[in-house]
Amino acid sequence: MYLGKVIGTVVCSVKDPGLHSQKLLLVRRLPDGPAVVAVDAVGAGAGETVYVCRGREAAFAFKQEVPTEAAIVAIVDDVQRTL
CATH number, position 71: 2.40.50.220
- Which pLDDT belongs to residue 83? 85
Which pLDDT does position 56 carry in this prediction?
Answer: 92
Residue 9 counted as domain residue: yes
Residues contacting 12, CB < 8 A, separation 6+: 19, 24
pLDDT tens digits for 25-71? Answer: 999 999 999 999 999 999 999 999 999 999 999 999 999 889 999 99
Instruction: With respect to residue 31, please indicate whether it lies within any of the assigned structural domains.
Output: yes
DSSP state of 61: G
Q: How far apart are alpha carbons 63 and 65 in whole angstroms?
A: 7
pTM of the predicted protein model: 0.93
Number of structural domains (the chain) is 1
Is residue 82 domain-resident? no
Give the residue numbers spanning the domain of 11: 2-75
Answer yes or no: is 34 within a domain.
yes
